[in-house]
């Protein structure tokens, strides 16, 4: 019997490890499944599908429903992450229409997510001037700050998004308050130097 004890011990250990492994895998798969079950309204927005977005917009409550990160549909409409300039411009136009649709449906453009970001801040980060203009036309607040004290203008400046900076300054954003961010941004992103030079000129006038 003694000679079988090591075998039984090893077998029991393997069974325990296997059980734990299966349990962990199940939790991971459940998490992945949950993440793939997207909000149909947000899915329509990310696909630039205005008709589908309109079908899923029933009232202001629906338009303002946040996800787990506190992000609302209009924040997702303002979020674009594209490197190609032409594609970014085309998406900007489509998203601007979606922002208008959401605003007409009662979306609160000044809600903030868990990081304190508004839709205008996401537009500033994304570099979408048409979306930015549409948000401003519908009452987006220029002076809101995130948890680090950044305004939409400060975010646009650091990202080197010249056209968004222009749009924000045209609506009265305080350009001088963002001037001190340029030096650090230039050191961190030397490949954006041309944009930073243009922004420096804009801010000194604003």
Work out the average pLDDT over 10-18. 46
- Provide the pLDDT for residue 206: 60
pLDDT over 70 percentage in the chain? 82
Q: Name the DSSP class of 149.
A: S
Given a cut of 70, whether residue 11 has pLDDT beyond it is no
Work out the average pLDDT over 97-126. 97
Residue pair 124/132 in contact by the 8 Å Cβ criterion: yes
Find tokens 């798969």 and name the residue. Answer: 29
* Token code pair at residue 131: 């979306």
- Provide the pLDDT for residue 20: 46
Four-residue CA torsion sign, 118, 121, 127, 129: positive
Q: Which residue has the higher pLDDT, 183 or 121?
A: 121
Given a cut of 80, whether residue 12 has pLDDT beyond it is no
Q: CA gyration radius for the chain?
A: 24
**Largest alpha-carbon pair distance within the chain?**
90
Closest CA to 98 of 68, 125, 130: 130
Per-residue pLDDT tens over the stretch 69-95: 999 999 999 999 999 999 999 999 999
**Is residue 48 classed as helix, strand or coil in its secondary structure?**
coil
Tell me the whole-structure pTM to 2 decimals: 0.81
> How far apart are alpha carbons 33 and 27 in whole angstroms?
10
pLDDT bin (cut points 50, 70, 90) of residue 199 is: very high
């Amino acid at each position: 019997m003694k000679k079988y004890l090591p075998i039984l011990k090893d077998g029991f250990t393997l069974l325990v490890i296997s059980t734990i492994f299966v349990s962990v895998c199940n939790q991971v798969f459940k998490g992945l499944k949950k993440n793939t079950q997207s909000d149909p309204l947000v899915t329509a927005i990310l696909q630039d599908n205005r008709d589908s977005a309109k079908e899923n917009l029933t009232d202001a409550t629906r338009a303002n429903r946040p996800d787990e990160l506190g992000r609302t549909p209009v924040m997702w409409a303002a979020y674009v992450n594209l490197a190609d300039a032409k594609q970014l411009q085309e998406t900007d136009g489509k998203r601007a229409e979606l922002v208008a649709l959401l605003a007409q449906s009662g979306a609160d453009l000044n809600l903030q997510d868990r990081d304190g970001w508004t839709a205008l801040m996401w537009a500033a980060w994304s570099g979408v001037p048409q979306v930015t203009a549409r948000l401003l036309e519908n009452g987006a607040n220029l002076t809101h700050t995130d948890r680090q004290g950044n305004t939409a203008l400060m975010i646009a400046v650091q990202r080197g998004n010249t056209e968004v900076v222009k749009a924000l300054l045209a609506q009265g954003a305080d350009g001088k308050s963002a001037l001190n961010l340029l030096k650090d941004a230039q050191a961190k992103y030397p490949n954006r130097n041309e944009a930073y030079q243009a922004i420096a000129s804009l801010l000194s006038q604003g």
